[in-house]
Amino acid sequence: MGWAIALHGGAGVPLSLPPERREPREAALRHCLQVGVEALKAQRTPLDVVELVVRELENNPNFNAGRGSVLTTKGSVEMEACIMDSTKSCGAVSGLSTVMNAISLARLVMEKTPHIYLAFDGAEAFAKEQGVETVDTSNFITSENIERLKQAKEANRVQLDYTQSIQTDPTKEKPTADGDSQIGTVGCVAVDGKGNSAAATSTGGLVNKMVGRIGDTPLVGAGTYANSYCAVSATGQGESIIRATVARDVAALMEYKGLSLKEAAAYVVEECTPKGTCGLVAVSATGEVTMPFNTAGMFRACATEDGYSEIAIWPPSTQN
Protein backbone atom coordinates (compact mmCIF):
# COMPACT_ATOMS: atom_id res chain seq x y z
CA MET A 1 0.00 0.00 0.00
CA GLY A 2 1.04 3.54 -0.72
CA TRP A 3 -0.39 6.60 -2.32
CA ALA A 4 -1.41 6.69 -5.98
CA ILE A 5 -2.81 9.26 -8.34
CA ALA A 6 -4.18 9.28 -11.86
CA LEU A 7 -5.64 12.04 -13.96
CA HIS A 8 -7.14 12.43 -17.41
CA GLY A 9 -7.80 15.16 -19.89
CA GLY A 10 -10.41 13.30 -21.91
CA ALA A 11 -10.96 10.13 -23.91
CA GLY A 12 -11.38 10.30 -27.63
CA VAL A 13 -8.34 11.82 -29.22
CA PRO A 14 -7.91 12.78 -32.87
CA LEU A 15 -6.16 10.08 -34.87
CA SER A 16 -3.50 12.54 -35.84
CA LEU A 17 -2.44 15.12 -33.35
CA PRO A 18 0.11 17.61 -34.67
CA PRO A 19 2.87 18.62 -32.24
CA GLU A 20 1.43 22.07 -31.66
CA ARG A 21 -1.74 20.48 -30.31
CA ARG A 22 -0.08 17.59 -28.55
CA GLU A 23 2.77 19.26 -26.72
CA PRO A 24 0.82 21.78 -24.66
CA ARG A 25 -1.50 19.01 -23.49
CA GLU A 26 1.37 16.70 -22.57
CA ALA A 27 3.03 19.53 -20.70
CA ALA A 28 -0.22 20.20 -18.87
CA LEU A 29 -0.58 16.57 -17.88
CA ARG A 30 3.00 16.56 -16.62
CA HIS A 31 2.45 19.73 -14.64
CA CYS A 32 -0.83 18.55 -13.10
CA LEU A 33 0.67 15.20 -12.18
CA GLN A 34 3.48 16.96 -10.42
CA VAL A 35 1.04 19.20 -8.54
CA GLY A 36 -0.86 16.12 -7.39
CA VAL A 37 2.21 14.11 -6.44
CA GLU A 38 3.66 16.94 -4.39
CA ALA A 39 0.38 17.41 -2.59
CA LEU A 40 0.21 13.71 -1.74
CA LYS A 41 3.80 13.75 -0.50
CA ALA A 42 2.88 16.73 1.65
CA GLN A 43 0.12 14.60 3.23
CA ARG A 44 -2.78 16.55 1.78
CA THR A 45 -5.98 14.55 1.86
CA PRO A 46 -7.08 12.81 -1.36
CA LEU A 47 -10.09 15.14 -1.46
CA ASP A 48 -7.81 18.19 -1.41
CA VAL A 49 -5.51 16.61 -3.98
CA VAL A 50 -8.19 15.81 -6.56
CA GLU A 51 -9.73 19.25 -6.20
CA LEU A 52 -6.36 20.91 -6.62
CA VAL A 53 -5.46 18.91 -9.71
CA VAL A 54 -8.83 19.38 -11.37
CA ARG A 55 -8.64 23.13 -10.72
CA GLU A 56 -5.36 23.15 -12.65
CA LEU A 57 -6.95 21.22 -15.51
CA GLU A 58 -9.98 23.54 -15.52
CA ASN A 59 -7.72 26.58 -15.73
CA ASN A 60 -5.89 25.14 -18.73
CA PRO A 61 -7.69 26.13 -21.95
CA ASN A 62 -6.49 23.02 -23.77
CA PHE A 63 -8.99 20.78 -22.04
CA ASN A 64 -12.75 20.70 -22.12
CA ALA A 65 -13.41 22.05 -18.64
CA GLY A 66 -13.48 25.51 -17.14
CA ARG A 67 -11.64 27.74 -19.56
CA GLY A 68 -11.66 25.88 -22.86
CA SER A 69 -15.06 24.30 -22.28
CA VAL A 70 -16.86 23.31 -25.45
CA LEU A 71 -19.94 25.29 -26.41
CA THR A 72 -23.65 24.55 -26.39
CA THR A 73 -25.71 24.89 -29.53
CA LYS A 74 -26.34 28.51 -28.55
CA GLY A 75 -22.63 29.25 -28.29
CA SER A 76 -22.74 29.46 -24.52
CA VAL A 77 -20.82 27.59 -21.85
CA GLU A 78 -22.51 25.28 -19.32
CA MET A 79 -20.03 23.61 -17.02
CA GLU A 80 -20.56 20.76 -14.61
CA ALA A 81 -18.51 18.85 -12.07
CA CYS A 82 -18.63 16.30 -9.28
CA ILE A 83 -16.40 15.39 -6.37
CA MET A 84 -16.66 12.37 -4.07
CA ASP A 85 -14.55 10.75 -1.40
CA SER A 86 -14.37 7.23 -0.05
CA THR A 87 -16.71 8.06 2.85
CA LYS A 88 -19.24 8.62 0.06
CA SER A 89 -19.60 12.32 0.79
CA CYS A 90 -20.19 13.98 -2.53
CA GLY A 91 -21.07 17.22 -4.25
CA ALA A 92 -22.08 18.10 -7.82
CA VAL A 93 -22.96 21.12 -9.93
CA SER A 94 -24.35 21.67 -13.43
CA GLY A 95 -25.19 24.57 -15.69
CA LEU A 96 -22.48 26.93 -14.51
CA SER A 97 -21.57 29.81 -16.78
CA THR A 98 -19.52 32.22 -14.64
CA VAL A 99 -17.84 30.12 -11.96
CA MET A 100 -14.08 29.89 -12.51
CA ASN A 101 -13.70 26.49 -10.91
CA ALA A 102 -16.73 24.25 -11.04
CA ILE A 103 -15.01 21.52 -9.02
CA SER A 104 -14.54 23.85 -6.09
CA LEU A 105 -18.19 24.80 -6.15
CA ALA A 106 -19.08 21.10 -6.15
CA ARG A 107 -16.96 20.73 -3.05
CA LEU A 108 -18.77 23.61 -1.39
CA VAL A 109 -22.12 22.01 -2.16
CA MET A 110 -20.83 18.90 -0.44
CA GLU A 111 -19.49 20.72 2.60
CA LYS A 112 -21.71 23.74 3.03
CA THR A 113 -25.22 22.60 2.10
CA PRO A 114 -27.51 19.75 3.17
CA HIS A 115 -27.69 18.81 -0.51
CA ILE A 116 -25.53 16.98 -3.00
CA TYR A 117 -26.38 18.58 -6.32
CA LEU A 118 -27.17 22.17 -7.34
CA ALA A 119 -27.70 23.35 -10.88
CA PHE A 120 -28.17 26.36 -13.13
CA ASP A 121 -29.45 29.57 -11.57
CA GLY A 122 -29.58 28.02 -8.12
CA ALA A 123 -25.97 26.92 -8.38
CA GLU A 124 -24.85 30.33 -9.64
CA ALA A 125 -26.73 32.01 -6.77
CA PHE A 126 -25.01 29.68 -4.31
CA ALA A 127 -21.67 30.57 -5.87
CA LYS A 128 -22.34 34.25 -5.26
CA GLU A 129 -23.35 33.58 -1.66
CA GLN A 130 -20.14 31.65 -1.12
CA GLY A 131 -18.04 34.34 -2.70
CA VAL A 132 -16.27 31.98 -5.10
CA GLU A 133 -14.42 33.44 -8.01
CA THR A 134 -16.72 34.26 -10.92
CA VAL A 135 -15.91 35.91 -14.22
CA ASP A 136 -17.80 37.01 -17.25
CA THR A 137 -18.83 33.95 -19.20
CA SER A 138 -16.89 35.11 -22.26
CA ASN A 139 -13.71 34.25 -20.36
CA PHE A 140 -14.32 30.56 -20.82
CA ILE A 141 -14.86 30.74 -24.55
CA THR A 142 -11.87 30.08 -26.79
CA SER A 143 -11.64 30.61 -30.53
CA GLU A 144 -10.89 26.91 -30.95
CA ASN A 145 -14.24 26.07 -29.46
CA ILE A 146 -16.08 28.62 -31.52
CA GLU A 147 -14.59 26.88 -34.54
CA ARG A 148 -15.53 23.45 -33.24
CA LEU A 149 -19.10 24.51 -32.75
CA LYS A 150 -19.21 25.90 -36.28
CA GLN A 151 -17.93 22.62 -37.68
CA ALA A 152 -20.37 20.61 -35.61
CA LYS A 153 -23.28 22.70 -36.81
CA GLU A 154 -22.13 22.31 -40.39
CA ALA A 155 -21.90 18.59 -39.87
CA ASN A 156 -25.15 18.89 -37.94
CA ARG A 157 -24.20 16.60 -35.18
CA VAL A 158 -23.03 16.36 -31.62
CA GLN A 159 -19.26 15.83 -31.54
CA LEU A 160 -17.16 13.47 -29.50
CA ASP A 161 -13.93 12.84 -31.31
CA TYR A 162 -12.25 11.47 -34.38
CA THR A 163 -12.73 7.87 -33.43
CA GLN A 164 -13.89 6.02 -36.49
CA SER A 165 -15.26 3.01 -34.71
CA ILE A 166 -18.68 4.47 -34.03
CA GLN A 167 -21.11 1.58 -33.85
CA THR A 168 -24.21 1.73 -35.98
CA ASP A 169 -26.37 2.27 -32.98
CA PRO A 170 -29.87 3.18 -34.06
CA THR A 171 -30.20 5.84 -31.39
CA LYS A 172 -30.01 9.38 -32.67
CA GLU A 173 -26.87 10.06 -30.68
CA LYS A 174 -24.11 9.89 -33.24
CA PRO A 175 -20.94 11.00 -31.55
CA THR A 176 -18.76 11.01 -34.61
CA ALA A 177 -16.38 13.75 -35.32
CA ASP A 178 -14.61 15.23 -38.24
CA GLY A 179 -12.22 18.02 -37.69
CA ASP A 180 -10.28 18.30 -34.50
CA SER A 181 -12.48 17.83 -31.54
CA GLN A 182 -11.32 18.46 -28.07
CA ILE A 183 -13.38 16.06 -26.18
CA GLY A 184 -12.77 16.23 -22.83
CA THR A 185 -13.89 16.14 -19.38
CA VAL A 186 -10.98 16.24 -17.04
CA GLY A 187 -10.66 14.20 -13.92
CA CYS A 188 -8.44 13.03 -11.13
CA VAL A 189 -8.46 10.19 -8.62
CA ALA A 190 -6.13 9.78 -5.67
CA VAL A 191 -5.60 7.47 -2.72
CA ASP A 192 -3.39 8.05 0.31
CA GLY A 193 -1.37 5.39 2.06
CA LYS A 194 -4.27 4.54 4.38
CA GLY A 195 -6.93 3.59 1.87
CA ASN A 196 -8.77 6.93 1.77
CA SER A 197 -9.51 7.96 -1.77
CA ALA A 198 -11.33 10.60 -3.76
CA ALA A 199 -12.48 11.29 -7.32
CA ALA A 200 -13.21 14.53 -9.14
CA THR A 201 -14.46 15.19 -12.68
CA SER A 202 -15.21 18.43 -14.50
CA THR A 203 -16.40 19.29 -18.01
CA GLY A 204 -17.99 21.66 -20.48
CA GLY A 205 -19.91 18.69 -21.93
CA LEU A 206 -20.54 17.91 -25.61
CA VAL A 207 -19.95 20.32 -28.45
CA ASN A 208 -23.25 21.63 -29.80
CA LYS A 209 -25.20 20.09 -26.93
CA MET A 210 -28.73 21.28 -26.27
CA VAL A 211 -28.93 24.02 -23.66
CA GLY A 212 -29.70 22.34 -20.34
CA ARG A 213 -28.16 19.01 -21.30
CA ILE A 214 -26.55 17.23 -18.39
CA GLY A 215 -23.99 14.49 -19.04
CA ASP A 216 -22.38 11.80 -16.94
CA THR A 217 -19.83 13.94 -15.15
CA PRO A 218 -22.04 15.29 -12.33
CA LEU A 219 -23.97 12.06 -11.87
CA VAL A 220 -22.71 10.10 -8.89
CA GLY A 221 -22.15 6.56 -10.10
CA ALA A 222 -21.90 7.46 -13.76
CA GLY A 223 -18.91 9.73 -14.37
CA THR A 224 -17.66 9.97 -10.80
CA TYR A 225 -17.62 7.62 -7.83
CA ALA A 226 -15.63 6.72 -4.75
CA ASN A 227 -16.09 4.30 -1.87
CA SER A 228 -13.93 2.15 0.34
CA TYR A 229 -12.87 0.00 -2.64
CA CYS A 230 -11.77 2.57 -5.19
CA ALA A 231 -12.19 6.00 -6.76
CA VAL A 232 -13.14 6.42 -10.42
CA SER A 233 -13.43 9.28 -12.91
CA ALA A 234 -14.79 8.52 -16.38
CA THR A 235 -14.74 10.37 -19.68
CA GLY A 236 -16.28 9.87 -23.09
CA GLN A 237 -19.79 9.87 -24.42
CA GLY A 238 -21.98 10.88 -21.54
CA GLU A 239 -25.11 9.06 -22.54
CA SER A 240 -23.26 5.70 -22.74
CA ILE A 241 -21.52 6.27 -19.43
CA ILE A 242 -24.82 7.04 -17.71
CA ARG A 243 -26.52 3.98 -19.12
CA ALA A 244 -23.66 1.76 -17.97
CA THR A 245 -23.22 3.49 -14.58
CA VAL A 246 -19.51 3.19 -15.32
CA ALA A 247 -17.91 4.58 -12.19
CA ARG A 248 -20.18 2.71 -9.80
CA ASP A 249 -19.81 -0.54 -11.69
CA VAL A 250 -16.03 -0.61 -11.35
CA ALA A 251 -16.43 -0.55 -7.57
CA ALA A 252 -19.40 -2.92 -7.65
CA LEU A 253 -17.45 -5.53 -9.60
CA MET A 254 -14.66 -5.34 -7.05
CA GLU A 255 -17.05 -5.66 -4.15
CA TYR A 256 -19.63 -8.10 -5.48
CA LYS A 257 -17.52 -10.24 -7.77
CA GLY A 258 -14.14 -9.92 -6.12
CA LEU A 259 -12.44 -8.59 -9.23
CA SER A 260 -9.22 -6.63 -8.93
CA LEU A 261 -9.22 -2.94 -9.83
CA LYS A 262 -7.63 -3.60 -13.22
CA GLU A 263 -10.01 -6.45 -14.04
CA ALA A 264 -13.08 -4.49 -12.98
CA ALA A 265 -12.11 -1.37 -14.89
CA ALA A 266 -11.16 -3.30 -18.02
CA TYR A 267 -14.44 -5.20 -17.91
CA VAL A 268 -16.54 -2.09 -17.63
CA VAL A 269 -14.71 -0.29 -20.43
CA GLU A 270 -14.55 -3.27 -22.78
CA GLU A 271 -17.84 -5.02 -22.12
CA CYS A 272 -20.25 -2.45 -20.77
CA THR A 273 -19.81 0.52 -23.08
CA PRO A 274 -19.75 0.62 -26.88
CA LYS A 275 -16.34 0.95 -28.52
CA GLY A 276 -15.26 4.53 -28.92
CA THR A 277 -17.29 5.91 -26.05
CA CYS A 278 -15.43 5.48 -22.78
CA GLY A 279 -12.24 5.81 -20.80
CA LEU A 280 -11.55 6.12 -17.09
CA VAL A 281 -8.90 6.49 -14.45
CA ALA A 282 -9.19 4.65 -11.16
CA VAL A 283 -7.22 3.95 -8.00
CA SER A 284 -7.90 1.27 -5.43
CA ALA A 285 -7.76 1.53 -1.67
CA THR A 286 -4.57 -0.54 -1.77
CA GLY A 287 -2.71 1.89 -4.01
CA GLU A 288 -3.18 0.35 -7.45
CA VAL A 289 -3.92 2.46 -10.48
CA THR A 290 -5.48 1.74 -13.88
CA MET A 291 -6.36 3.86 -16.94
CA PRO A 292 -8.31 1.84 -19.53
CA PHE A 293 -10.13 3.29 -22.54
CA ASN A 294 -11.89 2.02 -25.66
CA THR A 295 -11.34 5.14 -27.73
CA ALA A 296 -8.42 5.92 -30.05
CA GLY A 297 -6.63 7.58 -27.17
CA MET A 298 -7.01 9.24 -23.79
CA PHE A 299 -4.92 12.07 -22.36
CA ARG A 300 -3.73 10.62 -19.08
CA ALA A 301 -1.06 10.50 -16.41
CA CYS A 302 -0.48 8.54 -13.21
CA ALA A 303 2.05 7.97 -10.48
CA THR A 304 2.43 5.69 -7.48
CA GLU A 305 4.42 5.96 -4.31
CA ASP A 306 6.91 3.29 -5.37
CA GLY A 307 8.19 5.65 -8.04
CA TYR A 308 6.21 4.59 -11.11
CA SER A 309 4.90 7.35 -13.31
CA GLU A 310 3.43 7.63 -16.79
CA ILE A 311 2.14 10.30 -19.13
CA ALA A 312 0.44 9.07 -22.27
CA ILE A 313 -2.07 9.69 -25.01
CA TRP A 314 -2.24 6.60 -27.20
CA PRO A 315 -2.90 2.99 -26.23
CA PRO A 316 -0.01 1.15 -24.61
CA SER A 317 1.87 -0.93 -27.19
CA THR A 318 0.53 -4.45 -27.35
CA GLN A 319 2.62 -7.04 -25.64
CA ASN A 320 2.10 -10.77 -25.92
Partner 1 sequence: MGRGWAIAVHGGAGVDPNIPSQRLEEAKKLLARCLNLGISALNSSMSAIDVVELVVRELETDPMFNSGRGSALTEKGTVEMEASIMDGPKRRCGAVSGLTTVKNPISLARLVMDKSPHSYLAFSGAEEFARQQGVELVENDYFITEENLGMLKLAKEANAIVFDYRIPVVGLGLETCSAGAGAMESTLQMNGLPLSVYAPETVGCVVVDDQGRCAAATSTGGLLNKMSGRIGDSPLIGSGTYACDVCAVSCTGEGEAIIRGTLARDVAAVMEYKGLPLQEAVDYVIKERLDEGKAGMIAVSSTGEVAYGFNCTGMFRGCATQDGFMEVGIWE
Residues of the binding site for substrate: 213-216, 235-238
What minimum distance in Å lies between the beta carbon of 26 and partner 1?
A: 32
Rule CB under 8 A: which residues touch partner 1? 88-90, 92, 94-95, 113-123, 125-126, 158, 171-174, 209-215, 219-222, 225, 238-239, 242-245, 248-249, 252-253, 256-257
Compute CA distances 109 → 83, 145, 220, 249, whole Å. Answer: 10, 29, 14, 25
DSSP β-bridge partners for residue 201: 82, 187
What minimum distance in Å lies between the beta carbon of 119 and partner 1?
A: 5
What is the rounded CA–CA span in Å between residue 183 and residue 263?
Answer: 26
Helix (H) or strand (E) holding 191: strand 186-191
Picking from 36, 23, 315, the residue whose alpha carbon sits closest to that of residue 186 is: 36
Kindly tell me which of 115 and 194 has the beta carbon lying closer to partner 1.
Answer: 115
Picking from 276, 271, 277, the residue whose alpha carbon sits closest to that of residue 249 is: 271
Kindly tell me which of 240 and 304 has the beta carbon lying closer to partner 1.
Answer: 240
Question: 38: number of CA atoms within 13 Å, CB side?
Answer: 8
Kindly tell me which of 40 and 252 has the beta carbon lying closer to partner 1.
Answer: 252
What minimum distance in Å lies between the beta carbon of 281 and partner 1?
A: 19
Compute CA distances 178 → 168, 171, 175, 313, whole Å. Answer: 17, 19, 10, 19
Q: Is residue 295 among the annotated active site residues? A: no
What minimum distance in Å lies between the beta carbon of 263 and partner 1?
A: 12
Single out the catalytic residue among 72, 98, 163, 185. Answer: 185
Binding site feature residues: 213-216, 235-238
Kindly tell me which of 31 and 174 has the beta carbon lying closer to partner 1.
Answer: 174
Catalytic center residues: 185
